[in-house]
Structure 1
């Protein structure tokens, strides 16, 4: 038996993608970001901002207000083109994912990554995003994953 085959290298293709995203992402639109400090989306956004990422809150209920000192947009298409979003982090129900992915593809020309939070995955939306050359991470949280690589 070749023991080298069984050795854990500590890395996987998903880990490699996460490491690259953690090091290269600069501007993250957070769809479903809540102004409520006890909500997971707020804690993740605060963490990302503390690590130097620009966050762009997206929440139609709070559009026009401020969350974490950032202007809240009602949807991805409303983000001005000078804000070059390269990652979309989705804090929404699974049934909302396809429309969010389609809107991101259509309106964010610098987009490189679609990230779906813990408990969220959508095979059809993932397939569409990957067909457009995007990296897709499902069922993970950047607040948990990024510290391993930063």
Structure 2
């Protein structure tokens, strides 16, 4: 099972998969989900927002659930609590996603096993924005290279 620590695998995941369904994406600019999705969008990724609270986020149609998405999904990026992950696993598998990505602080061993048993890659406790910036050189995206890796926006 991929543990998320192999840079070659992370590089391949981020290089080969350009459609990201962001579950729990907020339309509020100061939220980590918005900041990460905006960064990925600015770096050539297609963002598919999934949140029942919105009709549009980042100029893209927002879907109420992962099941409602009818377009191709490469990565399911989850901005949900660890205990909410189990419900998303069957939807990600049904969507034929290639990668299930759990953000910083989110880990679920049972879900990870189900995901990898289904033939998908699983990344836990990592921020897609931070990993992209670390691997492809975007740590100074907001104009200042502080040499500090964080998903939190400085206000």
TM-score (norm 1): 0.85
Equivalent residue for 1:96, pick from 59, 66, 84: 84
State the distance in 2 between where 1:113 and 1:89 align: 8
Alignment coverage as a number of residue pairs: 133
Partner of residue 84, structure 1: 72
Partner of residue 145, structure 1: 131
* Alignment RMSD (CA, Å): 1.2
Q: Which segments of structure 1 move beyond 6 Å, counting only runs of 4 or more?
A: none
Unaligned 5+ segments in structure 2 are: 137-155
Q: How does 1:1-150 map to 2 (within 5 A)?
A: 14-62=6-54, 65-80=55-70, 83-106=71-94, 108-109=95-96, 111-150=97-136
Unaligned 5+ segments in structure 1 are: 1-11
TM-score (norm 2): 0.82
| Structure of larger gyration radius | 1
